[in-house]
Structure 1
Amino acid sequence: MGTHVIKMPDIGEGIAQVELVEWFVKVGDMIAEDQVVADVMTDKATVEIPSPVSGKVLALGGQPGEVMAVGSELIRIEVEGSGNHVDTPQSKPVEAPAAPVKAEAKPEPRVEAAPQLAASHTVAAIVPREAHEKPLASPAVRKRALDAGIELRYVHGSGPAGRILHEDLDAFISKPQSNSGQAPGGYGKRTDSEQVPVIGLRRKIAQRMQDAKRRVAHFSYVEEIDVTALEALRQQLNAKHGDSRGKLTLLPFLVRAMVVALRDFPQINATYDDEAQVITRHGAVHVGIATQGDNGLMVPVLRHAEAGSLWSNASEIARVAHAARNNKATREELSGSTITLTSLGALGGIVSTPVVNTPEVAIVGVNRMVERPVVIDGQIVVRKMMNLSSSFDHRVVDGMDAALFIQAVRGLLEQPACLFVE
C-alpha cells in the first residue's frame, strides 16, 4: 500500500490562496476516483476538488474556514501501489485514535484526530446527540427546523458525515416521537443557542459588502412606475408565445429598458478602479443578476444584454441564476458585470437601498408590484404600480444623471412599445 497526497490545486487567475469551505469525506472513509472530497472558494466562485485516485482517507489538511496556500497538502489517501508520496519520519502519519476527541474550550462537532493534518469533518451522526453537540446542516435546514420548533440534535442525518438534509426533517416530522426525544413545541421555553462560523460564501459576502460601504459614496434614488401597460404586454406575449418560447417575467423587460436608457448615460454603465483613479465606460452591457441561494447572495452575469432578445435574455437569466443557486456557476459566470439588477420579487417591499456591487457604479433595485388607486386626468383609477429603488456611486455618477437615467427607464416601462423602437 502507498500514500497519495492531493495538494491544493492552482485554480488559475494568479490566485495564491483559497478558503476551505466544506469537507465531504472524513478520516477512514473509502473514496472512489473522481469523487468530490471538498469545496474551496476563491474570490469569485466555489470550486469542487475531486480525488484522482481511489483509496482510504488517512488525514485531512485543514478546517472549514481555513485559508490555505496553493500547493499545500489538502488530503492524504492510502492507495494500492506506491502512490505519489514517500513518508519520512517527519511526515509519516500515525493512525487516528478510535475515540472521538471533544474540544474543551467551546462546543464543537466531534472529530477524529490525526497528526500534522487535522481531521476536520464530523463522524457519522448519532441520535440523540449530546446537548452541546452541533449537528451538520445547511442554513435553510436550520431555519426550517427553527420555524418548526425542532431540535436538530434529535434528527438523524443521512447526508455526508451525518449532515441533516430536508428529507431527514420530512422523515422526523412524519413519524411520532417519544416523549424523551420529543423536540420542544413552538411555545416551549428555549435556552439553546447556536454559533455559526462566518466562512465560505458568507465570509466573501461580508467582506464585499463591508468594502463597498467603506469605499463607495452611496446615494439612492426611488421612483414609482405605472407598469399596467407593461404587465398587459407581458401577459399577452406569454399567452401567444409562452409555450414555444418560454414564459417571460418582468426581468427581461427591465433589462431591455436599462440597455436602451444606458445609450444616453454611458457614465452609468461603468466600473471605477479607485486605486488607479480610472473610470472605464463599457459599450457592452453585462448585467449582474442578484440571486439568493441557500448559502447566500451571488451575482451571476447576463452577458451582452444589449444583443439579446426578450426571450434569449430571459432564458440566459434563468440559466445563470439556476447555476448560482446550485453552486454550479463558473468564475466567468460570476464576474465581469457592468451594472447590477436586484429584485426580491413579492418580498420587494416599498423601498430598499441596495448596495453598489463594486467596481460597478450603479445598481437598479426592483420593489414589489401592487395595485393602487391613482389619479389620471382627474379620475381615480386602479393601476399596477411598482417602485424602482436604485443606488449609485456618487464619486462617479452625479445626482442629476442618476435621476435622468431612472426617469428614462420609467418612460420606457410605462410606454413599453418604446422598448423596441430603434
Structure 2
Amino acid sequence: MGEHLIKMPDVGEGIAEAELVEWHVKVGDLVREDALLAAVMTDKATVEIPSPVNGEVLWLGAEIGDVVAIGSPLIRLQVAGGEGASSGSDKTEKAAEAPARSGEIEAQGDGAVRTSEAIIEQQAREAPPPRPVEAKQSPAVRMHRPPVAHTDNAKPIASPAIRLRAREAGVDLRQIPGTGPAGRITHEDLDAFLTHGPQVARAPGLIQDTSVQHIKVIGLRRKIAEKMATAKSRIPHITYVEEVDVTALEDLRTALNAKKRTDRPKLTILPFLMRAMVKAIAEQPNLNATYDDEAGIVHQHGGVHIGIATQTGSGLMVPVVRHAEARDLWDCAMELNRLAEAAKAGLATREELGGSTITITSLGAMGGIVTTPVINHPEVAIIGVNKIVVRPVWDGSTFIPRKMMNLSSSFDHRIIDGWDAAIFVQRIKTLLEAPAMIFVEA
C-alpha cells in the first residue's frame, strides 16, 4: 500500500488562498477517481476538488471555514501499490489506478487476503459496546420535562430539604408544578417559583428554552459579512428616497408582455429601470464610478456595468449585466434572466460576479416601503427598488388610484453631494413616469 497526498490546487489566476466550505468525505471513506472530495470558495466562486486516484481517506488537513493556502496539504489517501508512502508522485498515481471498491481483495503484509467487507465486519466486532445511558439527568434536562400540576388534595412530592426551604419561605408546595419524575418538585422548580411567582403555576405547558446554537460564519455568508462591514465602515452613506408613479410604466409593460415574441423573456420593471439609469448616467457620469479611497482616485467608467443583487440559496450574490448602454430593453431582460438563473444554480463565473460600476437592489413584492441599501464597495451609488402598491393620489380635483413605487437609493457622500444624488434620482423618476422617453434617443 502507498499514500497519495492531495494539495490545495490552483483555483484561479492570482489566487493565493481559498476557504474550505465543504467536505464530501471523512476519514475512513473509500473514494473513487474523480469523486468529489471537497469544495472551496474564493471571491464568491465555489470550486469542487475531485480525487485524482482511488483510495481510502487517511487524513483531512483542514476544517470547514479554514482558509488554506494554494499548495498546502489538503487530504491524504491510502492507495493500492507497494511503493510505500508518497506525496502525489507519478509512481503512486499510476499504482493508484487499481480499483479500491468495496468488496475488492486487499493484500495484507503477511500475505493474507481479505475483502473490504471482511475488514468492516472485523472493525464492527472489535468496536467497544455502546455505553449505557445513565438514568441520572442533568438539571438542564429536567427543566425540559413537562411540569405536573398538583390537585388541591394531593400531597406534593418533594424532598425534606425542599419542604424546609418552602416552609421557611412561606410557600405552599401545592402551588408549584413539579418537573421531576412523577411530578416531584425539584430545587429548580422552587427557585423558579420564588423568582417568577405564581404565574409559573398558571402556565404549566410553557418551559424555558436555554439552548444556544453556535453557527460558524463560513463560505459565501462570510464573504457577504466582510463585504458589508467594509462598505459600512469605509463609506459614509447618504440615502435618498423618492416615490414614483409607475402606472403608465406598468400599463406599457403589460402591453409589451402580451405581444412579445416567443423568443423574448417576460419583462419585469428592472429592464426599464436599467435603461432609465443608462440615460441618467449619460447626464451625470460621475455616478457610474468606483472609488479607490486608499489611492484617492475616482475611476469614472464609460461602460455601464449594472450589478443586480440576487438572493440565492447560499446567500446574496451580485451578477453583472455588462455594457447596459449597448443593450436594448429585451436584451437587458434576457441577460438579466440568464445571470440570475446562473447565480441561483451556483454556475455563475467569477467574471460574471465582478466588475460592476453601479448596482440595483430589489426585494420584489417584499420590497417594503423604504429601505436603506448598502453600497456595493467600491462603487459610489446603489439604486433600491421597493414594492409597487396602489395608493390614492390627489390630481388637483380628486383622489385617483395610482400604482406607486418608492426608490430608496444610497450614495457615497465623499464623492456624491446630496444635490447631485437628488438630481440623479429625479431624472430616473421622470423617465419611469413617462416611459416613452426611455425609448427616445437624445
Q: TM-score range by the shorter chain?
A: 0.7 to 0.9
CA distance in 1, matches of 2:349, 2:83: 31
Q: C-alpha deviations, 1:151-205, integer Å up to 9, x for none? A: xxxxxxxxxxxxxxxxxxxxxxxxxxxxxxxxxxx98764433211111111111
Deviates more, 1:29-38 or 1:326-335: 29-38
| 1:332 aligned to which of 333, 348, 351 | 351
In structure 2, the residue matched to 1:269 is: 288
Deviation at 1:364, TM superposition (A): 0.3
Deviation at 1:260, TM superposition (A): 1.3
For 1:235, what is the secondary structure of its paired residue?
helix
In structure 2, the residue matched to 1:73 is: 73
> Cα–Cα, structure 1 residues 364 and 9, in superposed 2: closer, same or farther, change >3 Å?
same
TM-score between the two structures when normalised by the length of structure 2: 0.70
In structure 1, the residue matched to 2:363 is: 344
1:368 maps onto 2:401 in alignment: no
Counterpart amino acid of 1:408? R
CA distance in 2, matches of 1:411, 1:367: 17
Deviation at 1:83, TM superposition (A): 8.4
1:256 maps onto 2:275 in alignment: yes
In structure 2, the residue matched to 1:145 is: none
For 2:337, what is the secondary structure of its paired residue?
helix
> Cα–Cα, structure 1 residues 302 and 83, in superposed 2: closer, same or farther, change >3 Å?
farther
CA distance in 1, matches of 2:322, 2:354: 10
CA distance in 1, matches of 2:400, 2:207: 49
Q: Which runs of 5+ in 1 are unaligned?
A: 88-130, 132-185
CA distance in 2, matches of 1:190, 1:242: 57
Q: In 2, are the aligned partners of 1:25 and 1:37 still within 8 Å (CA)? A: yes
For 1:418, what is the secondary structure of its paired residue?
helix
TM-score between the two structures when normalised by the length of structure 1: 0.73
For 1:317, what is the secondary structure of its paired residue?
helix
In structure 1, the residue matched to 2:9 is: 9
The 5-angstrom pairing of residues 383-398 of structure 1 reads 383-398=402-417
Q: In 2, are the aligned partners of 1:4 and 1:83 still within 8 Å (CA)? A: no
The 5-angstrom pairing of residues 21-420 of structure 1 reads 21-81=21-81, 86=86, 190-241=209-260, 243-420=262-439
Deviates more, 1:208-217 or 1:30-39: 30-39
CA distance in 1, matches of 2:254, 2:31: 51
Counterpart amino acid of 1:319? R
CA distance in 2, matches of 1:240, 1:259: 25
> Cα–Cα, structure 1 residues 305 and 34, in superposed 2: closer, same or farther, change >3 Å?
farther
Q: In 1, are the aligned partners of 2:264 and 2:334 still within 8 Å (CA)? A: no
For 1:74, what is the secondary structure of its paired residue?
strand
Task: Name which one, 1 or 2, has greater alpha-carbon Rg.
Answer: 2
Counterpart amino acid of 1:278? I
Counterpart amino acid of 1:78? Q
For 1:11, what is the secondary structure of its paired residue?
coil
In structure 2, the residue matched to 1:18 is: 18
In structure 2, the residue matched to 1:106 is: none
> Cα–Cα, structure 1 residues 83 and 249, in superposed 2: closer, same or farther, change >3 Å?
farther
Deviation at 1:330, TM superposition (A): 1.3
CA distance in 2, matches of 1:247, 1:390: 26
In structure 2, the residue matched to 1:111 is: none
> Cα–Cα, structure 1 residues 83 and 70, in superposed 2: closer, same or farther, change >3 Å?
farther
Q: In 2, are the aligned partners of 1:3 and 1:84 still within 8 Å (CA)? A: yes
Q: C-alpha deviations, 1:97-140, integer Å up to 9, x for none? A: xxxxxxxxxxxxxxxxxxxxxxxxxxxxxxxxxx9xxxxxxxxx
Q: In 1, are the aligned partners of 2:44 and 2:220 still within 8 Å (CA)? A: no
> Cα–Cα, structure 1 residues 187 and 379, in superposed 2: closer, same or farther, change >3 Å?
farther
Q: Which runs of 5+ in 2 are unaligned?
A: 88-136, 138-204
For 2:217, what is the secondary structure of its paired residue?
coil
CA distance in 2, matches of 1:309, 1:83: 63
CA distance in 1, matches of 2:208, 2:76: 46
Q: C-alpha deviations, 1:336-366, integer Å up to 9, x for none? A: 0000000001111000000000110000000
> Cα–Cα, structure 1 residues 342 and 84, in superposed 2: closer, same or farther, change >3 Å?
farther
Counterpart amino acid of 1:349? G
Deviation at 1:46, TM superposition (A): 2.1
> Cα–Cα, structure 1 residues 409 and 77, in superposed 2: closer, same or farther, change >3 Å?
same
> Cα–Cα, structure 1 residues 227 and 85, in superposed 2: closer, same or farther, change >3 Å?
farther
CA distance in 1, matches of 2:399, 2:221: 47
Counterpart amino acid of 1:331? R
In structure 2, the residue matched to 1:148 is: none
> Cα–Cα, structure 1 residues 298 and 187, in superposed 2: closer, same or farther, change >3 Å?
farther
Deviation at 1:81, TM superposition (A): 4.1
For 1:401, what is the secondary structure of its paired residue?
helix
Q: In 2, are the aligned partners of 1:33 and 1:51 still within 8 Å (CA)? A: yes
Q: In 2, are the aligned partners of 1:4 and 1:84 still within 8 Å (CA)? A: no
Counterpart amino acid of 1:23? W
For 2:86, what is the secondary structure of its paired residue?
coil
> Cα–Cα, structure 1 residues 287 and 2, in superposed 2: closer, same or farther, change >3 Å?
same
